[in-house]
Structure 1
Amino acid sequence: MERRRGDELLESLFDATFQLMKETPHTNLTFQQIAEAAKTSRTVLYRRWPTTFDLLQDIYTYKARKLFEGEYFDELKDTGSLRGDFIQLLTVYQGVYDEIGADVMNNYFYIRMQDPDHSRETALHTASLEKHQQAIAHILKNAKARGEKIKKLSKVTLMLPFDLIRMENMARQANISKKRLIAMVDEVLLPVFS
Structure 2
Amino acid sequence: MNKENEGEFTTRRRGAELEAAIIQAAWDELMEVGFQSLTIEGVAARAQTSKPVIYRRWPNREELVLEAIRRNLPPLSDEIPDTGELRSDVIIVLNRLNEMLRQIGQETIHGLMSVLTGIPLSELIGFRRTNAMPIVLNRAVERGEIRQEKITPRITRLPADLVRHEVLMTYEPVSQDTIVEIVDEIFLPLIK
Tell me the TM-score normalised to structure 2 length.
Answer: 0.67
Residue 117 (structure 2) pairs with residue 116 (structure 1): yes
Q: Residue 104 of structure 2 aligns to a residue in which SS?
A: helix
Q: Which runs of 5+ in 1 are unaligned?
A: none
Residue 36 (structure 2) pairs with residue 35 (structure 1): no
> Residues 161 and 135 (structure 1 numbering): CA distance in 2 closer, same or farther, change over 3 Å?
farther
2:3 match: none
Report how far residue 37 of structure 1 moved.
2.8
1:90 match: 91
Counterpart amino acid of 1:188? I
Q: Percent identity among equivalent residues?
A: 20
Q: Residue 55 of structure 1 aligns to a residue in which SS?
A: helix
Q: Which runs of 5+ in 2 are unaligned?
A: 1-9
Report how far residue 163 of structure 1 moved.
1.9
Q: Which has the larger radius of gyration?
A: 2
2:154 match: 156
Counterpart amino acid of 2:157? M
Given candidates 19, 24, 49, the residue that maps to 2:58 is: 49
2:102 match: 102
Q: Residue 72 of structure 1 aligns to a residue in which SS?
A: coil
> Residues 175 and 160 (structure 1 numbering): CA distance in 2 closer, same or farther, change over 3 Å?
closer
> Residues 110 and 87 (structure 1 numbering): CA distance in 2 closer, same or farther, change over 3 Å?
farther
Give the whole-Å Cα distance in 2 for the aligned partners of 1:141 and 1:188: 18
> Residues 63 and 169 (structure 1 numbering): CA distance in 2 closer, same or farther, change over 3 Å?
farther
> Residues 147 and 155 (structure 1 numbering): CA distance in 2 closer, same or farther, change over 3 Å?
closer
Give the whole-Å Cα distance in 1 for the aligned partners of 2:174 and 2:87: 18
Q: Could you list the per-position Cα deviations for residues 86-130 of structure 1 after superposition, in whole angstroms to 9, with x for gaps in the alignment?
A: 3222224414643x46141643575255333338x97xx89715x
Counterpart amino acid of 1:102? R
Q: Could you list the per-position Cα deviations for residues 135-183 of structure 1 after superposition, in whole angstroms to 9, with x for gaps in the alignment?
A: 254145225xx26456635312210122233344554745733x54433
Residue 135 (structure 2) pairs with residue 135 (structure 1): yes
